[in-house]
Amino acid sequence: MPSPALVLVDPVTGSFEAADPGAPHLRVDDLAAVRGDGIFETLLHRNGVSRALEAHLSRFANSARMLDLPAPDPQLWRSAIGAVIDNHGDADEIAVRFTLSRGPDGANSPTGWALASTPSAAVLAERSNGIDVLALDRGFASGTAERAPWLLLGAKTLSYAVNMAALRYARQHDKHDVVFTTSDGVVLEGPTSTVVIARGRELLTPEPSSGILFGTMQRELFRAASDAGWTCGYKDLSVQDIVTADGAWLCSSVRLLAAINSLDGRALPADPKLQAEIKALLLQ
């Protein structure tokens, strides 16, 4: 398996250079490390194509706007991502995580880097085996995203400690993953994924304005599904909508699709034909 590759990106000079991923590069007062004050994206480079690259760059720019970070130069990041993929070496699939931090405390000089690695076996297993999930309260009510923009709901920030804690909680309860809901029971997203359900020939996902990330893979899935004659839409969903759906998935860049086998211990229908059809839409 090829080893990870790293490029350090200097947004101030507009340059980047390859670096040793095993060596230290970040200052201990970097605000990414001490406050989670920065943004990131993770994309999948598969069979020679960086999937949804432009959608990732555009969400990166939107996250930067929400955090009052300097606008990332898309050409600089495109080139840095291309370089780190080249440096990683041959692999069918490469996950590229690119990050922009506010930089060292008080320096007013952002830090950037892109790291390429091979997706873990666990992620690939969830693609084929599906997952058991828990519904967990994210602790805010519907409408919070508009009422409280300082919560940065909808930005992909480095502050993922809550998301990781939710995943640990699920694993302590013998589940693989989580579906977050608002305190009034509206489905939001997974800690690292978008929720998609199928009802007949319709695919549905929560409204992106509800305080969630606008998923790049969900949008790719909807594009391919619309072309194949599915109706696709954005709608408030409940946990009951998931367990009564014909199929439901957590969808994200590296894992692509993981079928939800059960939610809070309630089994969802196992329909191999539907699963194969939806998977083919995203893999085509």
Strand-pairing partners, residue 45, are: 50, 94
Q: Is 117 in the site for ligand PLP (CB under 6 A)?
A: no
Closer Cβ to ligand PLP, 104 or 153, answer by number: 153
Q: Is 63 in the site for ligand PLP (CB under 6 A)?
A: no
Closest CA to 42 of 195, 204, 160: 160
Q: Is 87 in the site for ligand PLP (CB under 6 A)?
A: no
Q: Is 215 in the site for ligand PLP (CB under 6 A)?
A: yes
Of residues 131, 213, 259, 282, which one binds ligand PLP by CB under 6 A?
Answer: 213
Closer Cβ to ligand PLP, 101 or 210, answer by number: 210
Q: Is 182 in the site for ligand PLP (CB under 6 A)?
A: no
Q: How far is the CB of 252 from ligand PLP (least distance, A)?
A: 4
Helix-helix angle 53-66:216-227, to 10 degrees? 140
Strand-pairing partners, residue 233, are: 204
Amino acid at 150: W
**For the CA atoms of the chain, what is the radius of gyration?**
19
Binding-site size for ligand PLP (CB under 6 A) equals 15
Q: How far is the CB of 93 from ligand PLP (least distance, A)?
A: 14
Window 37-56: contact mask with ligand PLP (x via CB under 6 A): -----x--------------
Q: Which stretch binds ligand PLP (CB under 6 A): 72-80, 141-149, 189-197, 224-232?
A: 189-197
Is the separation of the CB atoms in 221 and 196 below 8 Å?
yes
Closer Cβ to ligand PLP, 104 or 204, answer by number: 204
Closest CA to 191 of 240, 138, 258: 138
Q: Is 193 in the site for ligand PLP (CB under 6 A)?
A: yes
Distance CA 228, CA 41 (A): 28
Q: How far is the CB of 55 from ligand PLP (least distance, A)?
A: 7
Of residues 204, 217, 248, 258, which one binds ligand PLP by CB under 6 A?
Answer: 217
CA 107 to each of CA 51, 64, 103, 174, 269: distance values in angstroms, whole numbers, following the listed order: 34, 18, 7, 44, 54
Closer Cβ to ligand PLP, 251 or 281, answer by number: 251
Closest CA to 64 of 160, 192, 154, 189: 154
Helix-helix angle 216-227:272-283, to 10 degrees? 110
Window 233-252: contact mask with ligand PLP (x via CB under 6 A): ------------------xx
Question: 146 in the Ramachandran plot: left (φ > 0), alpha (ψ -120 to 50) or beta?
Answer: alpha
Please give the residue ranges that form the binding site for ligand PLP (CB under 6 A). Answer: 42, 189, 191-194, 212-213, 215-218, 251-253
